[in-house]
Amino acid sequence: MDYISTRNKEIVVTPSQAIIQGISTDGGLFVPVEFPQMSLKRIQELSYKELAYEILRLLLTDFSEKQIKDCIDKAYDEKFDTEGIAPLIQVGDDYFLELYHGPTLAFKDMALSILPHLLKASLNINNIKEEVVILTATSGDTGKAALNGFTNVDGIKIIVFYPESGVSKIQKLQMNTQEGDNTFVVGIKGNFDDAQNGVKELFNNMNFVEKLKENNYILSSANSINIGRLIPQIVYYFHSYIALLGEGKLRIGEKINISVPTGNFGNILAAYYAKKMGLPINKLICASNDNKVLTDFFNTGEYNKIRELHLTTSPSMDILISSNLERLLFHISGEDDELIIELMNQLSKNGYYKMNSTDFKEFYGDYSTEDEVANIINKTFKKYDYLMDTHTAVAYNVSRKYKKDYNDNTKTLVVSTASPYKFASTVASALGIGIEDKDEFEIIDVLSKKSNRSIPEAVKNLKDKTVIHKNSCNTEDMRSIVESFLKVGETHD
């Protein structure tokens, strides 16, 4: 299996090289040259770890069997609080795929628990001795999950940028209390798109990249722009399907709908990749919050980032530039790399581009307002005694809109991406709990008693942790602060 750039199909790399680079030298994203097919009959009895091996061995072909199994064993161990890794919970006629049972209580753990081990193996495969600098932007959850995964990994440093006013209090505390001499966290005076654009500019700045090389560093990423982040996410979609088969909820080959709360488009793209590999999916439901740039795109064909960014109660989705959409455009367009360059240039120069909306019939796009999010959290708890976070609520609400609009009774998988305790103030408020004059941890205690659910240790332990990272900068100073942390000098263009 080789990987090619979305902006130049002539750039061909191995799986391990794609993982190390993170982003192609031309600014494009790496995609597999083909999608191997999975046999549902053959995998329907497999555990999560066994299934992960079957999928990863097809997509990471320059890894040995031992390397892949070692990575899987190190990733999916006792750090997850449930043996099934990604449990499936029935709520009414729908099924919630809970992806927040890892150490940082968000779906990012599913891939970022294994990425550090895949990266270390990749370095060994390519006999690379330089130290790796993981440079990543986060809208909240990627940051902590990446920090947790890469902390104290020998030969790797990790630098995380996040929007200071664009994450929840718990998310910010999770990142800024992160221990480890190889970790560095910086708040950006701007939004997630500013942080993400700043990181991309550093990757594409050859002067900066060369200076790092001179100092024995190479760059990589932990965002879902890294194919090593994306591939492990394919696993849980197949896992959920075979879980439904095992429970007798599906017949083999029967199609399902999947509703995903979406900002950077990586999680729903992994579902699309699962479909390309043989998972029977009827409709991919792309659920947005008030930052509905993707909703508008799937309904009109125009992607337009020229709009106000709303700070919502689902902050991990407060994004106007969905990087992974580039991969979908590449596949849908018949791998037209010249078109991708044109579209990305239009987005950069003009702030928008236009395509034919009928090209995306596999997708349904809609959004949830803040009132709708609060309302469905409240109603679902009262009716089903099921507690969900704000991002999951966005996806559940949009899935219900789809069912109503299309009178579609296909079984639906709602992707539950974070623990409600990461967004306790908003969830508590939605349930009618008074939060005035209470700090975040008091609210968490009240929410626990109201919902009769124990507080996860990862949240409980935060209360007494020391804030280590107090760094802040403007986007134009991102390079300087990286160079300062790495001690590579101050001179640059």
Percentage helix, strand, coil for the chain under 3-state DSSP, each rounded to 5 = 45, 15, 35
Give pLDDT tens digits for 127-176: 998 999 999 999 878 889 999 999 988 899 999 999 998 898 899 999 99
* Residue 54 predicted with pLDDT over 70: yes
* Residue 221 predicted with pLDDT over 70: yes
Catalytic residue among 41, 66, 108, 487: 108
Q: Are 235 and 58 in contact (CB under 8 A)?
A: no
- Mean pLDDT on 198-212: 92
Cα dihedral 471, 477, 480, 481 in deg (nearest 10): 10
Q: Are 468 and 462 in contact (CB under 8 A)?
A: no
Q: Is 108 a catalytic residue?
A: yes
* Residue 492 predicted with pLDDT over 50: no
Angle formed by the axes of helices 325-332 and 266-276, nearest 10°: 30
Hey, what amino acid is at 352? Y
Q: Are 279 and 237 in contact (CB under 8 A)?
A: yes
Q: Are 417 and 286 in contact (CB under 8 A)?
A: no
* Residue 374 predicted with pLDDT over 90: yes
Task: Please write down the long-range contacts of 337-345, taking CB distance under 8 Å and 24 or more positions apart.
Answer: 337/5, 337/6, 337/7, 337/8, 337/9, 337/28, 340/6, 340/7, 340/28, 341/7, 344/7, 344/27
**What was the pLDDT predicted at 165?**
87
**What was the pLDDT predicted at 490?**
53
Rounded Cα distance between 319 and 80, Å, is 28
- Among 9-13, 272-276, 434-438, which is the least confidently predicted range? 434-438
Rounded Cα distance between 413 and 87, Å, is 12
Rounded Cα distance between 15 and 228, Å, is 8
Hey, what amino acid is at 183? T
Q: What is the pTM of this model?
A: 0.93
Of 155 and 255, the one with more pLDDT: 255
Domain boundaries of the chain, sorted by first residue: 88-104+228-463
* Residue 493 predicted with pLDDT over 90: no
Domain boundaries 88-104+228-463, CATH class: alpha beta
Rounded Cα distance between 486 and 213, Å, is 12
Those residues with Cβ within 8 angstroms of residue 481's Cβ, 6 or more apart along the chain or in another chain: 186, 471, 473
Give pLDDT tens digits for 66-120: 999 999 999 999 999 998 999 999 999 999 999 999 999 999 999 999 999 999 9
Give pLDDT tens digits for 267-300: 999 999 999 999 999 999 999 999 999 999 999 9
Question: Closest Cα to residue 265, out of 291, 244, 243?
Answer: 291
Tell the residue number behind the tokens 């959850």, with chain if given. 141
- Mean pLDDT on 49-74: 98
As a whole-number percent, the residues of the chain with pLDDT over 70 amount to 99
